[in-house]
Amino acid sequence: VVTQPSDPLGVGVYRYAPDRAEAVRLGDVREHLRASLLQPEFVDVFPVLLFVVADAEAPLEKYAMRHYRTMHVDAGVLVQNLYLVTEAMGLVGCAIAGFTDPRVASLLNLATTQLPVMAFALGRPG
pLDDT category at 19 given cuts 50, 70, 90 is: confident
CA distance 25 to 40: 20
Residues 6+ apart with CB under 8 A from 101: 115, 116
- Least confidently predicted of 4-13, 55-64, 68-77: 55-64
What is the reported pLDDT for 58?
67
Q: Which domains does the chain show, CATH number per domain?
A: 12-123 (3.40.109.10)
- C-alpha R_g of the chain: 15
pLDDT confidence of 8, banded at 50, 70, 90?
confident
- CA atoms of 50 and 41, how far apart (whole Å): 15
Find out whether 15 and 22 touch, Cβ atoms under 8 Å. yes
Prediction pTM value: 0.89
pLDDT, position 59:
67
CA distance 11 to 15: 13
